[in-house]
Amino acid sequence: MNVVKTGLRSGRQGAEWLLLAALMPAGVMVGAEVQSVVVPAKATETVTADVAASPEFEAMIRREMEATVKAFNAADPAGVAALFMEKGELVDENGNVYTGRSEITAVFKAFFEKFPKAAMAMEVTSVRSIGDSLAVEEGVRQITAEAGAAEAQMRYIAVRDKVGDKWPIASYREFADDPAPTAEEMLQPLSFLVGDWVDESPEGRTAINFSWSEDGNYILGDYVLSVGGQPESKSVQRIGWDPVEGVLRSWTFDSDGGFSHGEWTQIDNGWVAKTEATMPDASTASATVTFTVKDQDHFVVRSTDRIVAGGEEPDFELVIARKPPQPGAAAAKPAGTPVVVPAAK
């Protein structure tokens, strides 16, 4: 699981238990063609796919699924391993291979020690038979670490071998299947910004406003800079999620014709942005901007490694303060994790 993906996404489970979760075997249903993945079931429920099957196989899948859920929800590692063949194998989403019931028992023992209240639901999406004694099963399962926690969804493929009246797993492989994060989810760590801010340094005054775009895919920034008696300088900014590179980006456009873009990396209590700018006179600039949260109503902006038109410029530091709401003003959207993103030039 991509750590960036899981770490930024609001309400998502951590990668640590995802690597062990959803390893339980499921039952088999034959006579069905491959189908699309079903809507996830709620944890602790057992659900079968809506496909045609003989009464014998319907009884078998119900028996296997009930045994699976019972062993998992009882936090019984030996019971889980018993649903595999003696030398069966389990391959997790990272390609780690566990062979035989002893190794599989150890994997689940470690998982249940860390997550004793974990619960599982499962759904079979397709299965095909190979002769009279082999079946290839595909499905989706969901795991929750505890009641009310976020679900970890996984896809799996299991090869089953008939032994008497049972169908233990000969080989099982799992794949991460979390839904792709939305842009709004990835921006939640920045929702602290929404509202009005002001910098009243001796050199000038900058008023800043951040708001959500109507579609929720961006955070929008507006800046108005006043220096002495000079005309106001204005900038607009758009902050969004880059799903290809897996990073947050900002694009800023100035009223004098200049523009810049930044790539953001989260750090403890803030962010670091690597920025590049094009000036109105065709010269270029770059800087490293660090944003550190001081408290709920203040953050510190420090700009270093500043190169403008090929020459070095001195570092600077600003303290930005939240502007109190005007009497009767509408309440802002609820704030998220305190992180800051003013213009990064």
Summarised one tens digit per residue, pLDDT across range 79-113 is 999 999 999 999 988 889 999 999 999 999 999 99
List C-alpha distances in Å: 219 to 90, 191, 248, 267, 294: 44, 8, 11, 20, 21
In the three-class reduction of DSSP (H, G, I as helix; E, B as strand; rest coil), residue 52 is classed as coil
Cβ-contact 189, 8 below 8 angstroms = yes
pLDDT digits (tens, 9 = 90+) for 25-80: 333 222 332 222 233 344 444 444 434 446 676 567 677 777 877 899 999 999 99
The yes-or-no verdict on residue 239 having pLDDT over 70 is yes
**What confidence score (pLDDT) does residue 327 get?**
59
Distance separating alpha carbons of residues 270 and 281, to the nearest angstrom: 33
In the three-class reduction of DSSP (H, G, I as helix; E, B as strand; rest coil), residue 88 is classed as strand
Distance separating alpha carbons of residues 1 and 8, to the nearest angstrom: 12
What is the DSSP code string of 246-263? TEEEEEEEETTS-EEEEE
Cβ-contact 221, 342 below 8 angstroms = yes
Cβ-contact 128, 136 below 8 angstroms = yes
pLDDT digits (tens, 9 = 90+) for 184-226: 888 888 888 899 999 877 777 889 999 999 999 999 999 998 8
What proportion of the chain, given as a percentage, has pLDDT over 70? 75
In sequence order, which residues have a C-beta less than 8 Å from that of residue 226 and are 6 or more positions away? Answer: 204, 205, 206, 232
**Domains in the chain, please, with CATH?**
3-176 (3.10.450.50), 183-322 (2.40.128.20)
Going across the sheet that includes 151-161, the strands are 97-99, 84-91, 169-176, 151-161, 134-144, 119-130
Number of Cβ within a 10 Å radius of residue 117: 12
For residue 339, what pLDDT band results from cuts at 50, 70 and 90? very low
Cβ-contact 13, 150 below 8 angstroms = yes
With a threshold of 0.85, does the pTM exceed it? no
Q: For the CA atoms of 303, 287, 183, 252, what is the dihedral angle to 10 degrees?
A: 100
Instruction: State how beta strands 151-161 and 298-308 pair.
Output: unpaired
Cα 234 to the chain's mean position, in Å? 34
In sequence order, which residues have a C-beta less than 8 Å from that of residue 267 and are 6 or more positions away? Answer: 290
